[in-house]
Structure 1
Amino acid sequence: MRFSSITALKLFLLHLFTLFTNLQAYTPVNNFTINCGSTGTSYDGETTWTGDTASMFLSHQDSTVSANPTPPQSNSTLQLPYTTARISRSQFNYSFPVTPGSYFLRLFFYPASYPSFPSTQASFTVHCNHFTLFYGFSTDEDDTETIFREYVVNVDNGETLNLSFTPSQPNSHALINGIQVFSIPTDLYYTSPHHAGFKLVGTHTLYRVTSDTALHAQYRVKVGVQGISPPKDTGLFRNLVAGDEHYLIKEKNPNNNGEMNITLHHGSVAPKVLYRTERITKRSPKLTWNFPVDSGFYYLVRLHFCELDQNITNIGDRVFCVYIGSDLAEDHAEVLRWSNQLKGLAVQRNFVVLIPKNDTQEKVNLSLQLHPYLNSSNPCLNGLEIFKISDSNILAGPNAQNGIAFEERRNGMAVGKRRNVLSVEKRRNKHKISIAGMVFVLVSVSSVGFVFRWARSMFNPRSFSTNAHKLSTNAHQQSTDAEELPVNTLICLRFSLVEIKAATNNFDDASVVGVGGFGHVYRGFIRRIFIPVTLKLFKPGSNEIEVAIKRHKPGSKQGSEEFLNEIEMLSQLRHRNIVPLIGYCNSNKEMILVYNFMARGNLREHLYNSDKPPLPWKRRLQICIDAAHALHYLHCCAQTYTIIHSDVKTTNILLDEEWVAKVSDFGLSRIGPTGDSKSNVCTTPVKGSFGYIDPEYYKRQHLTEKSDVYSFGVVLFEVLCARPPLIRTAEPREESLGNWVRYCHQNGTIAQILDPTLKGKIAPNCFRVFCQIGLSCLSEIGSQRPSMNDVVWMLKNALKLQESADITEAHSNSQNPLSS
């Protein structure tokens, strides 16, 4: 009796506390509810919507139209905001002046046909501030289902919440039917600054979901047959759908214990009604759900529990294990213990799980299993939420879902950055993560060992053997892209100085094929006896391989730091568009690097100041696409960090015998930090090549992946105009290619600076798109530049436009052979 009285008193006091502190409905600081394409205000019975016509939030409104869906509609009972839409064939933006904090961003789409805008032409990309929400929205001709997307984003001091809708192709259009921007408690989904983090499933590691990421709500499920509509939420207007049985593997209906009082510690986490129904297994001892998700992302999984069973009274009555994926997430789950034996007290458990990349399936299952302990009551669950966590500011997945087709996001080996890892354990993939003060997550322990062994060898050359040194890569990194080389080629060899001298005829000047910032580059041949057969570098019937040998020149501005950097980077990278490093030599204080020889030299040699014939336009386009692929791989896919090349220029884009472009020279490359910064900013003294250097980097010494994007924009116009990036003897206005291009664009004279050999050979649409790509890369503000993934996609589109024009022209000429 005494125990019961104490428990009752604790419950009563807890009820009073939560009643007056936490359980009041949340009142948002900012709340924007926009009915796109309409005027005035309208009410749907739950929400008051405001039209965006003549709205201060909408920019470029003159280029947009408001429209109603074209009848007939299979969905005859459309409700707000799906009855009108804002549509345009050019980019349009919304900007919401909000206070700093976290927000729900809700987007409503009805991808039907509208007057002059057929549904089959809807294809666009959506960005929110620096996040890419999805690529290439597209629909089937008979797709008349409404689409709802919910995101969680954070806005910092001095920022606004900006949304952009950009058509993917010249004849495609972008559309939006409704927008909600709704402030939420900062720690509702992001990890609180005072919280260590959520468990990363499969490890003993904690993961912080920090405010520099964005979240995409994948599933928000209440068990049972009756969901929770937005007005019944705690003031956050979330929609918790019923029907967990759609994902449940063979189970009966849930139990309903609706009479018990429910107590919440945090009034915003979930509404009380969520906890009135629980799923308890009847037939089999375990519960299993499968939720289809995109691979290659981390997911936040929030499980909601509340002990409702009157027969569960003591610790140990209901104990179970929680498995997410194939890994144990919670070994001794017990709701009554979590709630300090308070029946009816709602509790939540948060986990983060990595779903490895899988290129063979459109969707993979994120499985959730609850297994009971022996002689324990069967497990229970009241509800769950699953959020995709952005990776490299990207939430777009590689697959199609509900009519949204996504562009392939990554071409590389690693799944993504792991900026938020706090503590460490050996993972299933045999990675070891080293922590010393700040958290540095290194790709491979063996490659780290190599770095230190190499450093010692600079002072004691004998410490290295002359055998090949295999630099290990991430065990889980598999070749998932056709542009990557096989994993068994990830080998870096150490050559003796005798072997190098033999290959270059004792560094004969006649073998010199180039001079760079590091030193001279020699053309040479290495005999098969010096290279393992497993490298597969030889042509059939050949006993030697043609190589480029880069020898450090004493007094060069580049030295041991760049030499070490090149080995460290290239020994871990293999991609079709990155020049492969075969090996190195560091004997007798020499610093020598050995690469595959690129038969056609560098790109600049084929553009100007050379007697080589000019490149045709489509070949130039393909070379640009190849180089963009390489940079995208470095920024997003190469390993757990962003790699910033920091010296992108035409002389560092090499061409092999088949005209395949390969990015080279990683001596100045940097790895982006793993801190809580919003982007991969590396503060470093300015290095690079004048004419290509990002203005933001030059002024602030902040190197980011967008610095590479700026340099690549200069390369694009170097390819288009066939002129150097910097001409000191030119008029001040024309001295810098980047500045000159922007000036000509503003005056409508950009066609006048085109390479004369290309005049009349570029399709107008292709020319327009190519210039738009280059100009966007040259934006003065780094955050406004596209990602390299976007650049790849846009360049491919430009190539398609050129090929289509060529086909049309060829067909026209075949019909009228005398016209020419």
Structure 2
Amino acid sequence: MDTTCTGTPLRTILLLLFQIWCFSFISMADVIYRPTDLFSVSCGSSTNFSTLDTRNWTTDIHFLSPTHLSVAAPSLTPSTIQGPYTHARLSHSPFTYSFPLTPGPKFIRLFFYSTSYQNFPRSQASFSVQAGPYTLLQHFNSSLNADADDDPSHPDILFREYCINLQDGENLNITFIPTTTDSYAFINGIEIVSMPPYLYYTDPGHSPEQPQYVATMTPYVVENKFALETMYRLKAGDHTIPSSEDTGMLRTWDTDSKYLDTQSEESIEFTGTTNLSFTKNIPNYTAPDQVFRSVRNMGRNASFNMRNNITWQLAVDSGFTYLLRLYFCELNPRIEEAGVLRFFIFIQDQLATDWADVFMWTNHWGVPVVREYVVIISESPKKVNLSLKMHPHPKSIIQDAQINAIEIFKISNYKGSLAGPNPDPPQTAVVSHQGSNKKNGATKKILAAVTGTVFGVLLLSFIVAFFFVKRKKNITVESTKEGTSPLRDGSPSLPTNLCRHFSISEIIAATNNFDELFIVGVGGFGNVYKGYIDDSTPVAIKRLKPGSQQGLDEFMNEIEMLSQLRHLHLVSLIGYCYESNEMILVYDFMDRGALRDHLYDTDNPLLSWKQRLQICIGAARGLHYLHTGANQMIIHRDVKSTNILLDEKWVAKVSDFGLSRIGPTSSSMTHVSTQVKGSVGYLDPEYYKRQRLTEKSDVYSYGVVLLEVLCGRQPLLRTVEKQQVSLVDWAKHRYQKGSLGEIVDPALKGQIAPHCLRKFGEVALSCLLEDGTQRPSMNDVVGVLEFVLQLQLQDSAHGDVVWESGVDYEGSTTDDMFSSHSNSSGLNCTSYRNKESDRLILDNVFSELKDPKGR
């Protein structure tokens, strides 16, 4: 009987039935998205099989390149985990898999079981993996990585997930390359799953909420030319969402609890009848419903929450850029309007947002929302912890913070690589056994050697400790004689001849035991109290949150900086207290508070234009002193309107030196390489992108303050149309249009002379140039502002026409305004408006100072 004709159609029918069964099996998980490409390949296996996680594994032989020299082998130690771990594909030479795929982004998942295979010892597995133009792994030592993995539920199992985008007509080639001739490459399983085009990549045609660099409003486009590696996919709570319960893409959502670095946290499951309302921006395939119904928060103890953060610590490779996707959904019936629950989000100790308000973002219950941020992790020899922290806003009605899920992706570098280093080998002793007859003798010798070594180490430690303690006592005595005071808890000594050391009892007496009625300011650092010392002297007492290493570093830094600085326009440090785990700074009291409190969002009378100019000049002089007047250049790093304080006579004083750094210490140094610090809305984008700090970063931040003073609004406003969100971008746009007057604070109507407005706008925008080397020095800024004040006083004395709302120069067109200004003063303002680089010519900006006869 001839079976040839019946065999082929029979195999086709069986294959179709198998695929129908496969998809029906997956549909049990309420699949929302059905991938166009779905390959689950068990490498080295000779049979197809299915697992309970809804995967249907096929053999790999049809995807291997014809010239491969690899072999299939079973694992010598069977794995207890279901999956493609019974066999592996192994080779001492490179081998390649080729997959015919449709265009678009794909998940690439690699499964490894680090064990020994026949003729392939576990310790010799070291190889690289390339997928198309991308390097996924380089010199990957599977045994070291498996030994470093601390997940006892999956011993020796390694899993890596990537996202890459394929163009039209491309096959995906995945190549495994042994590191040396003595090593080998292997793989147990490969999975390729299609994903929606713009799930993780930025849609160039419709991106209302692009990812943003942390601490800035600078957008970041996740282009599909990048490859991504999934570092973490975590949901709130203690229950994992398996791949079978994903929305069709076979993603696993792990629990966040093992990465939490705080103790008093809760997770809540909202299992009520409220339906989730997905949107065009957040479709229903974004994440399973259960992700948005599980919420992590801090708890209901408001006073405890205000003293603490909720923190996750997540190990990542250094030297890469990371995308963080934070998932939120408001299901709490207690929250009925915006402002009820508002909190800060910090990423890598940088402020991502000071206005996280889920209800404000969505205007309703049950509407999922995702916020994306990008952070650069500086190069370091080893892995580092990426921290995510949330803290209640002091103006929030409910003082709490919440989140539903976290995803973190590594973004490929300029070489197209995602490869990180191998972990260090474990520090364990290896004992060889050459026979049962020698075992007892060898053991005794080892015990004797170990005992002798331990005794010797202990004896040496006691001797070293004795001399160290004795030397420390001598140093303490010497330091005390020289006018220094050793801080408690092992802190280094600090000078008492320049600032005073307060006892905690003095501080308690000065603040009436930290009475809330004495609080005059609240921030992420803690509270500021008005107190009285020496019976009647008013002081500002800043009480930092206890137990924070970052807070301790900034506390020490501010004491060391301010104790050596004295200037009319710098806040004076009177002293400090470091007892009973308290970190407290005592300053001169500034009666008028912060500059911001007199510009907007306040019940205080708003400042006049003349007052604003005088305050700006004072603050600029303070910064100029920091940059040039001290023994070494000091870069403030946190210039903003809340850090410019005003005394009783409205004299401006720069404050808060916790983030300050010593600048370049020699003429050959152009910058200081340091981790990015600062405040959102004020951070120099050049410093953020290149992590190179110069005094021109302070100039940029000061330029933002100048715009605040002129426009009477915050640097960032999230409740306005997109074009106006960033004050810097909005001011540049209006200046280029010749209508800067349209965004001037309405409270200044009729106060600003036209030449004064123009010149002030020029110096502000020159401070905000993208290229830091093109920005003016603070000395130049002081000079120009003094000149602006002279213009204002002269025009006011002569009764000249002053600026009215919406008009920059009365009686002139925009072109006339710029041309007449250029002719009269030597300033060519059109250079800023028309040049592609959007930069002012500084020689023109300051020409009137260099040649006063210009006017």
Q: Tell me which interval the TM-score lies in, with the shorter structure as reference length.
A: 0.3 to 0.5
Using the size of structure 1 for normalisation, the TM-score is 0.45
State the TM-score, normalizing by the size of structure 2: 0.43
Q: Which has the higher helix share?
A: 2
Higher Rg of the two aligned structures: 2
